[in-house]
Chains A and B, each alone.
Chain A
Amino acid sequence: MGAAESVPARFRVGDRVRVRGADPPGHLRTPWYCRGHVGTIERLCGAFANPEELAYNRPGLPAQPLYRVRFQATELWPDYREHARDVVEIEIFQHWLERAAE
């Protein structure tokens, strides 16, 4: 994909990021349970067309960087009793992420 057709990646592995608490209507692939929560970039998967736009048969370009973000289970679920080191890893598009305060 040409450089003009994808947004540059802003985040690197290890960066702390917060999922924006946005709540628009439409087809979204950022699950409700991670919104507003802070995680760590685990890897950059590449840049892909935005599914929110593809859902309306639009091209979804420029492609958005897609990351896997690792969340501590205890961060996602305040009453998580199972195991302190468990994690949930979720693919999230860059436009849903903002840098978290350290």
Chain B
Amino acid sequence: MRGMHDLGGLEAGRCERDEHEYEQWEKRVDALMMLLSARDRDLMKVDELRRNIESLGADAYDRMGYYERWMHSIAQTLIQRGVITIDELGRKLAEQEARDGRG
């Protein structure tokens, strides 16, 4: 079966010449990917990142932005690798929410 990311040759709409000024958090997602996949650290392979993005499901492209998919995937990979636990992440996220005043 064609993966939902495997787009070559499919019908699609007009190419909109979208440009995007990246927010700080998006740049930091990119930075985390670079740091974690660097040869001397090897805590994540780009291929694991891609596989986890591909596993998101067909509507991920519509539901989620580019760096949202990356961030989901980085977290998934680190959990799979045992670098962080789901519980640790959940607690840190709750702290972040509290800081944002939304908790």
A–B contact with Cβ pairs below 8 Å: the answer is: yes
Chain A interface mostly helix, strand, loop or mixed?
A: loop
Q: Which of B6, B45, B51 interacts with A32 by CB under 8 Å?
A: B6
Nearest first, the 3 A-B pairs at minimum CB distance are A54-B47, A55-B51, A33-B9
Chain B proximity mask over A17-39: 1 for CB below 8 Å, otherwise 0: 00000010111100111100000
Given contacts A23-B1, A28-B3, A32-B2, contact A57 B9 (CB under 8 A): no
Q: Which residues of A contact B (CB under 8 A)?
A: 23, 25-28, 31-34, 51, 54-57, 76-77
Minimum CB distance partner of A51 in chain B: B47
Interface residues on B, range: 10 to 19
Does chain A have a CB within 8 A of B90? Answer: no
Minimum CB distance partner of B52 in chain A: A55
Minimum CB distance partner of A50 in chain B: B47
Does chain A have a CB within 8 A of B50? Answer: yes
- B47 near A27: Cβ-Cβ < 8 Å: yes
A31 to B46, CA, bound (A): 18
